[in-house]
Structure 1
Amino acid sequence: MLDKVIMIASVMLAIALLLSVYRLFRGPSLPDRILALDTLYINAIALIVLLGVLQRSLIFFEAAMLMAVMGFVGTVAVAKYILRGDIIE
């Protein structure tokens, strides 16, 4: 039963990933594209966690944590660049 639920959730996350990619390329403004990129990596993290639950492996959770930290740092760097025009002062 859990396998079916994970597969349904994976399909839904794959659709969310496709919609995020669409918004990333077709976003009318830069903040829309940044938000789409942020949503894209969050959906990818959720997909990796679901894969880890499905395969009962802890390595996927470590990969998801690493991806979350890198995504957060990237989002902060892009936001700082947009606000100030410079990442490192």
Structure 2
Amino acid sequence: MNATITLAGADWLLPLVGSLLLASMSLILLRLWRGPSQADRAVAIDALTLLGVAALVLFSLWQSQRVLLDVAVLLALLSFIGSAAYALLFSKTHDQEPPQ
């Protein structure tokens, strides 16, 4: 059985959400470029991957492709693993006591 689900207001809602995602991506790219510390840049990369997941879900809704949802979940998992690894690395470099 092949069921089709339609999104109410998709003709105006999906372009609006897409334009908001692009605006958010441009602001985050600015933070990535100008970020004063490495932690700011890491958070910006994490936010970009989150917006990438949202863009994949939006594109999946627009094209009615369920496979793209699997790709979005995989990207979210990889982003989480990368963020956790960076947080572990960042905490180890700052937890060391200075020599006396």
Using structure 2 for the length normalisation, give the TM-score. Answer: 0.80
Q: Deviations over 1:46-65 (max 9, x none)?
A: 01100000111101100100
Inter-partner Cα distance in structure 2 for 1:59 and 1:20: 27
Inter-partner Cα distance in structure 1 for 2:57 and 2:48: 14
Between the two proteins, the alignment pairs up a number of residues equal to 85
Contact 1:23 1:32 in 2 (8 A): yes
Runs of 4+ in 1 over 6 A off after TM superposition: none
RMSD: 1.0
Inter-partner Cα distance in structure 1 for 2:89 and 2:11: 43
- 1:65 corresponds to which of 70, 73, 76: 73
Higher helix share: 1
Contact 1:3 1:54 in 2 (8 A): no
State how 1:35-46 maps to structure 2 within 5 Å.
Answer: 35-46=43-54
Inter-partner Cα distance in structure 1 for 2:74 and 2:40: 25
**Larger Rg over CA atoms:** 2
Inter-partner Cα distance in structure 2 for 1:55 and 1:21: 27
- Unmatched 5+ stretches in structure 1: none
State how 1:16-31 maps to structure 2 within 5 Å.
Answer: 16-31=24-39
Percent identical across equivalent pairs? 29
Using structure 1 for the length normalisation, give the TM-score. Answer: 0.89
**Aligned amino acid, residue 60 of structure 1:** L
- Unmatched 5+ stretches in structure 2: 1-8, 94-100
